[in-house]
Amino acid sequence: MKEPLKVGVAGVRGVVGASMTPRVAASFAQAFGVFLGRGAVVVGRDTRPSGVMFERAVVAGLQSVGARPLMVGVAPTPSLLMAVPTAGARGGIAITASHNGAEWNAMKFIDRDGLFLSPARADELLDLYHQRDFPLVAEPDLQPERPMEGVVEKHLTRVLNYVDAAAIRRRRFRVAVDACNGAGAPWIEVFLRDGLGCETVVIHGEPTGIFEREPEPLPAHLTALGRAVVEHRCNIGFAQDPDADRLAIVDECGRPIGEDYTLVFAVAQVLSAHSLGPVVVNLTASRAVDEIARAAGCPCIRTRVGEIHVSAAMVHHGAVVGGEHNGGVIVPAIHPCRDSFTGMALVLERMAATEKRVSEMRAEIPGYHVAKIKIPMALSETVAALRRLRKRYVDRHPILLDGIFLDLGESWVHIRRSMTEPVLRITAEALTPEEAEALVERFRTEIMVGPQPNGNV
């Protein structure tokens, strides 16, 4: 099949109309309803037009097995995660393909603790889905759907209570935001202007789900935001993805600093202004995080890439801050999930505390530059390619937690397969952008062509 249905730890994801259809969504909702047992299930979505359709299919599936749908409507994914324990629900379904393009949609499954399903629990759900023998309830036991109000407001209040909102307000920052026509769009003004006293310039702020920019907040996609920052002389630019869990930053000159460094700012701010404690990040996160943690005397723990791996480890280790390289900031005191609003509040708080420009803050973490590419590759091929690399570099003591991670002294490279797309991802960090680029290119060639004669690293 040309467009695969990707079923895995991260939920079920596919191309709308090809592999992701209402029938798939209804069946998964039935399996999830059976998995949770009868009770309330929170249902929300991002702004994609296909989300309305999948929401209806999910409602039908949940009701048929006796679950009670609590309908949030359009909401950031972090708000939905928080809503599950708040409502005392048995679980939740977020209908969002996150940073994937408009042609995609997906369902992510939330456990009763407000975290995504653990890999072991996700396996159980898949078993149920494949068995297809859903015990249906009789008509008198069907539960009507009910709206659930105030979910996003509660989320934003938690964030505002965590940071020193008064200090941020005093600075009256001017902030440009690219909301990617996503689930964060309806609340961005309320949060930044009313909550944090910022003047706001919002682009792509209509929550239409028809994305006016590429939805992944990569530097190449943030030119419009950069222009807005310069034109309106903003202190900073923020870019969200469609479900508002990831955050990228543009400096006061309109230059994207790279989504990898959002996490670095956030970790630095939590450790310096809020609390000391373990830091948990994924393998691909910038090594600047280790340095900041070490300086603060805090352990830094690495996990596989993927929100659930980081969140679960944070809960396990009692971490105070952490997240993912892709702009996913996590503060467990707010909720152990990636949250762009938490990221924005912490970065603004850091700007207020240090009285520095964004470019100056970025310059304080020198010698860290990231380069990344993805190579389209079938799942079976990624396994073979990774096996060859692991064998070849066995004497370099690679970390094999997730693909292969090679520590090269002043630089590193991480090669792993994506959990959401049939691609192999190569990420490298080095002292200069050029070195990082060269590293990525070197390994791309090695994977595609074979080991290079002068290619020792």
Partner 1 sequence: MKTLRLSNFGLRGFVGESLTPSVALDYVSAFAAYIERGRVLLGRDPRASSPMLHAAAVAALMSAGCEIEDFGVCPTPILQFYAPRRAAAGAISISGAHHAVGWNTLMLVGPDGGPLDPAVGEQVLDGFHAGAFADCDARFIGMRREVRDYADSYFDTLAQLVDAEAIRAARYRIIADPAGGAGCAFLEPWARRFGVDLITVNGDPTPFPARDPEPRPRTARSIASLMRPLGAAAGFVFSSDMGRVSLVTEKGEPLSEEMTFALIADHILRHRPGPVVTNCCTTRAIDDLAARYGALLIKTPVGQAHVIAALRDEAAILGGEGSGSAALAAFSLGFDGFLVMTLVLESLAQSGATLSERARTLPRYAIVKRSVPCGPGEGYRAIERVRAKIERETSDRWDETDGLRVDDEDGWVHVRASRTEPRVRVISEAHDRGVAEERAERWIHWMEIDS
Binding-site ranges for partner 1 (CB under 8 A): 15-18, 21-23, 25-27, 30, 48-50, 52-54, 56-57, 59-61, 63-64, 102-105, 136-142, 144-145
Task: Measure the CA–CA gap between 407 and 413, rounded to whole angstroms.
Answer: 7
- Min CB(18)–partner 1 separation in Å: 7
- Min CB(210)–partner 1 separation in Å: 9
| Residue reference for tokens 């701010």 | 269
- Min CB(60)–partner 1 separation in Å: 4
- Min CB(418)–partner 1 separation in Å: 20
Chain centroid, CA 126 distance in Å? 22
Task: Residue 444: name the closest of 370, 379, 374 by CA.
Answer: 374
Please say which residue, 142 or 438, places its beta carbon nearer to partner 1: 142
Please say which residue, 97 or 389, places its beta carbon nearer to partner 1: 97
30-40 burial, b if ≥16 CB within 10 A, otherwise e? bbbbbbbeeeb
Determine which one of 98, 286, 311, 411 is catalytic: 98
**Sign of the four-CA dihedral 30, 36, 38, 40:** negative
Please say which residue, 15 or 344, places its beta carbon nearer to partner 1: 15
Please say which residue, 18 or 160, places its beta carbon nearer to partner 1: 18
* 103 touches 15 (CB < 8 A): yes
Task: Residue 370: name the closest of 216, 262, 294 by CA.
Answer: 262
CA angle 99/103/108 to nearest 5° reads 50
Please say which residue, 27 or 235, places its beta carbon nearer to partner 1: 27
Q: How far apart are the first and last CA of the chain?
A: 38
Please say which residue, 139 or 395, places its beta carbon nearer to partner 1: 139
Task: Measure the CA–CA gap between 395 and 68, rounded to whole angstroms.
Answer: 55
Please say which residue, 17 or 299, places its beta carbon nearer to partner 1: 17
Q: What are phi and psi of 320, to 5 degrees?
A: -100, -25
In this structure, the number of other CB atoms found within 10 A of the CB of residue 123 comes to: 12
Q: Sheet with 423-430: list strands edge to edge.
A: 369-376, 423-430, 412-417, 404-407
- Min CB(247)–partner 1 separation in Å: 25
- Min CB(242)–partner 1 separation in Å: 12
Burial class of residue 438 in the structure, from the number of CB atoms within 10 Å of its CB (0-12 exposed, 13-18 middle, 19+ buried): middle
| Residue reference for tokens 């790279």 | 258
Amino acid at 218: L
Q: Is residue 98 among the annotated active site residues?
A: yes
- Min CB(21)–partner 1 separation in Å: 5
Active-site positions read: 98
